[in-house]
Amino acid sequence: MLPTTLFVGQQLLFIPACASTNSEAQQLLIKNEATEGCTVITHRQTQGRGQRGNTWEAAPGQNITLSVILSPSFLPVRQQFYLNMAVSLAVLDLLREQGLQQARVKWPNDLFFEDKKLGGILIENSINSHSLQHSIIGIGLNVNQLQFAYPTATSMANVCGRTFDLEKVTMRLLEHLEKRYLQLRGGHTARLKYEYLQVLYRYQEVHPFKIGQQQVQGQILGVDEDGRLAVEIERELRYFSFKEISHVI
């Protein structure tokens, strides 16, 4: 089965098991064997990588684990977080289509339902001069897995009370990804940012955060062009990069 797309997923490589789909995609780029939209899918990933150097673990054959190669040379380096926004919205488009209306993106790239993690996104960019050359979009999404080692994890099946056709859901994800990527390529960055903020976890709500060893109360007010989280703390607007602040859940 191939997705109904122009290029995303039209070159599709299925590997029953591998260390990391992002690593496999990187090798295809090195060998010059990948066209834009090339997609690597596996049912078993043994060394999946997540944000902040974390590992991503998923039960074999029950979840979506894939990487897509894109060539966003139109995107300046300083605007690369717009790609994160587009990809996050694509996954949320899928989740909402499948009945998870309350799904949210937790900055920078986690997918949440209520206070539990549904999946994650890892984007690895290579830079050419002042723009992006290639981007490897790694997506892990919990679909049919019912039990997790961590109580903070959940799945589409847990939330909806039913199992999903994994292949069909994967193809729909690739279709949503292409649609959002074309929106980005068309220059609709303001619209993407607006939609991203509307589905941002705990946006404009007062919640606890951790900065280093200190816990504070803050309110998320936005995300800047560099992808930094804008949080108002004690009436002062402060900006934080990926490892400088975390939610207290």
CA torsion angle 8 11 15 18 (round to 10): -60
* Token representation of residue 125: 């960019």
**In this structure, are 190 and 211 located in the same domain?**
no
User: Largest alpha-carbon pair distance within the chain?
Assistant: 53
Q: Are 108 and 242 in contact (CB under 8 A)?
A: yes
Whether 217 is covered by a domain: the verdict is: yes
**In this structure, are 125 and 180 located in the same domain?**
yes
Q: How far apart are CA 136 and CA 124, in angstroms?
A: 5
pLDDT along the chain (249 residues), means of 10: 96 96 97 98 82 61 97 95 97 98 96 97 93 96 95 96 98 98 98 97 98 97 95 98 94
**In this structure, are 85 and 115 located in the same domain?**
yes
**In this structure, are 40 and 129 located in the same domain?**
yes
Q: ∠ CA(49), CA(8), CA(11), 5° rounding? A: 90
**In this structure, are 131 and 81 located in the same domain?**
yes
Whether 7 is covered by a domain: the verdict is: no
Whether 2 is covered by a domain: the verdict is: no
CATH number, domain with residue 50 = 3.30.930.10
**In this structure, are 113 and 230 located in the same domain?**
no
pLDDT number for residue 129: 82
- Which residue is it, tokens 């056709």? 165
pTM as predicted? 0.95
Domain that includes residue 135, residue range: 12-198
**In this structure, are 142 and 162 located in the same domain?**
yes
pLDDT number for residue 57: 61
**In this structure, are 91 and 143 located in the same domain?**
yes
Domain boundary among 179, 198, 217: 198
Q: Are 22 and 136 in contact (CB under 8 A)?
A: yes
**In this structure, are 167 and 221 located in the same domain?**
no
**In this structure, are 31 and 88 located in the same domain?**
yes
**In this structure, are 179 and 238 located in the same domain?**
no
pLDDT number for residue 169: 98
In the chain, the number of structural domains is 2
Whether 44 is covered by a domain: the verdict is: yes
Q: Are 35 and 70 in contact (CB under 8 A)?
A: no
* Token representation of residue 113: 């339902």
Whether 176 is covered by a domain: the verdict is: yes
**In this structure, are 130 and 175 located in the same domain?**
yes
Q: At 16, which amino acid appears?
A: P
